[in-house]
Amino acid sequence: MRIAIGGIATECCTFSPILSREKDFVVQELEDILDDERYPFLKEAEAEIFPTFRARALPGGQVERATYENFKARFLDHLQAALPLDGLYLDMHGAMNVEGMDDAEGDWYASARKVVGQDCLISASYDLHGNLSERILQNLDMLTAYRTAPHVDTLETRSKAFSMLVTCLEQNIRPEKVWIPVPVLVAGERSSTEYEPAASLYAKLGDVDPIPGIMDASILVGYVWADEPRATASIVLTGTDRIVMEREAKKLALEYWKTRDEFGFSVPHGSIKEAIDWALTQDNNCLFISDSGDNPTAGGVGDRVDFLKALLEHKVENAVLGGIADETATMACYAAGLGETVELSLGGSLDKATMPLPLTAKVLFLKETSELRERIAVAQVEGVTVVISHKRRPFHEEADFLALGINPEDYKMIVVKVGYLVPDLKRIAKGIYLALSPGVVDQAIERLPYSRWQRPRFPLDKNFFWYPELK
Ligand SMILES: [Zn+2]
């Protein structure tokens, strides 16, 4: 068996003003792709593996067209060189949007299909926050997606996509797919599988998979911050018995549709002001507040200062803000030096909806990791300890703070640019609050200027009839 491996993975918020360019991606080609930690299952595979091209980036804005075309050309060149192929495994995300191209994954697969031919089987692993299209389903032979959000089953999902491919090749099966788009699209924070209704919906997949004739059943919540026609939730089944697959897909789709009103936040939530008021009435330290509208791992810009402004206005003492992406301000802190006072014009320059915040800060900590060429400064602004990074990045782990000399337990509240709290911060949090702060990944999606979704689509539209139909 000759199997090629490759892919491209990112999540693109079409409301973001920042284009994702080549420098934002981690690119691996040929042998570099064969990472034992990411693909431990390849070692045991009784197949000849041909690594091609893989790129991945932190969620952000649309991918620059030239970057995409360059990546695609490199991928197709390596694919061509690996011919003839029996199978192709693509390690994807599923919510990429390229300048002037709405269905980027569809383009990627259609281009790959032209190279590998109709007989080659193509399998893809997805994030459950991916959007599908007819062209995607026409060119893929099988697909499986994460079943957990926060995502803790990423390895299992990649492994399953690969093993389904091997099984089909060994048994000479060309699988069928059944896809039902469900006209519901909610943010990941409303559909965490740690809470209802997503917990029960995803638990059902474990009962569907073992049904004879079904190889995989997947539910995709979809990616809400893409203003593109294909954006919606999906039920996708891969298998061999079309009748059974259609029956089970319709059941899952109907369940999803019926629970649409129940997708809520499951944690205390409210405005920035309400979040601060909440924290000030709690007895504990180590309270975590999500500045959710500016979460870089959902595609947020990461330089908004709405929360910092509010903390200063409320004269909050003993708070941490992690973090604000601002290259100029980071460099100004480095130029000033440790323990020095510096005038900053902080954040608010990438997200054009905001303005930089002028302030006086004392430099507490400077971090430089030569390996990543990454600079991070910690500065004290009145009662708030602010983390300022030269690159857009998340601070989503306890270790991210400890490495900066910040022990979250010593602070009353820690404001993090995140959506739902990732497990590592949840573990240490003595209280959790989701602030529905503004930004390009605003949780209150009705505040965003959608114009290209297919309508009706819940929750932008509420009163309409729908019944599962196969695509
Ligand atoms: Zn995701």
pLDDT (tens digit per residue) in 110-165 = 999 999 999 999 999 999 999 999 999 999 999 999 999 999 999 999 999 999 99
Quick check: 374 pLDDT over 90? no
| 70 CB-contact burial (10 Å; exposed 0-12 / middle 13-18 / buried 19+) | middle
d(C-alpha 107, C-alpha 243), whole Å: 29
Question: Quick one: pLDDT at residue 372?
Answer: 58
Write the CB contacts of 310 (distance below 8 Å, at least 6 apart in sequence).
Answer: 272, 273, 276
| 261 CB-contact burial (10 Å; exposed 0-12 / middle 13-18 / buried 19+) | exposed
Distance of CA 137 to the CA centre of its chain: 21
State in Å: Cα 305 to ligand 1 middle: 25
AA identity, residue 66: A
Q: What is the mean pLDDT of residues 194-198?
A: 95
Quick check: 371 pLDDT over 70? no
State in Å: Cα 11 to ligand 1 middle: 8
State in Å: Cα 396 to ligand 1 middle: 15
Query: pLDDT tens digits, residue range 411-452?
Result: 999 999 999 998 999 999 999 999 999 999 999 999 999 999
Query: pLDDT tens digits, residue range 282-307?
Result: 999 999 999 999 999 999 999 999 99
Vertex 96: Cα angle to 80 and 48 (nearest 5) = 30
State in Å: Cα 432 to ligand 1 middle: 21
Task: Please list the helix, strand and coil fractions of the chain in percent, rounded to the nearest 5, in that order.
Answer: 30, 25, 40
Query: pLDDT tens digits, residue range 325-360?
Result: 999 999 999 999 999 999 999 999 888 788 999 999
In this prediction, residue 102 has a pLDDT band, given cuts at 50, 70 and 90, of: confident
Vertex 409: Cα angle to 404 and 415 (nearest 5) = 70
Question: Quick one: pLDDT at residue 352?
Answer: 78
d(C-alpha 79, C-alpha 74), whole Å: 9
d(C-alpha 437, C-alpha 269), whole Å: 10
What DSSP element (H or E) covers 381? strand 374-381
> Strand, coil or helix: what is 145?
strand
State in Å: Cα 149 to ligand 1 middle: 7
> Strand, coil or helix: what is 383?
coil
**pLDDT, mean over the chain:** 96
Q: Are strands 341-346 and 142-145 parallel, antiparallel or unpaired?
A: unpaired
**What is the percentage of the chain residues whose pLDDT exceeds 90?**
96
Q: What is the mean pLDDT of residues 44-59?
A: 96
Question: Quick one: pLDDT at residue 469?
Answer: 83
DSSP state letter for 267:
S
**What is the percentage of the chain residues whose pLDDT exceeds 70?**
99
In this prediction, residue 252 has a pLDDT band, given cuts at 50, 70 and 90, of: very high
AA identity, residue 180: I
Q: Are strands 374-381 and 269-270 parallel, antiparallel or unpaired?
A: unpaired
d(C-alpha 27, C-alpha 8), whole Å: 9
Cis peptide before 431 (omega within 30 of 0): no
Number of H helices, E strands in the chain: 12, 18
d(C-alpha 90, C-alpha 85), whole Å: 14
State in Å: Cα 272 to ligand 1 middle: 24
d(C-alpha 118, C-alpha 194), whole Å: 40
- Cα–Cα nearest to 104, from 63, 73, 66: 63
Cβ atoms of 59 and 50 within 8 Å: the answer is no
State in Å: Cα 93 to ligand 1 middle: 8
Quick check: 403 pLDDT over 90? yes
Question: Quick one: pLDDT at residue 353?
Answer: 83
State in Å: Cα 288 to ligand 1 middle: 21
* Token couple for 368: 């430089």
- In sequence order, the β-bridge partners of residue 416 are 290, 322
State in Å: Cα 190 to ligand 1 middle: 13
d(C-alpha 374, C-alpha 427), whole Å: 27
Query: Residue 423: CA atoms inside 13 Å, Cβ hemisphere, count?
Result: 7
State in Å: Cα 360 to ligand 1 middle: 37
Cβ atoms of 129 and 99 within 8 Å: the answer is no
Question: Quick one: pLDDT at residue 370?
Answer: 65
State in Å: Cα 126 to ligand 1 middle: 9
Cα Rg of the chain, angstroms: 23
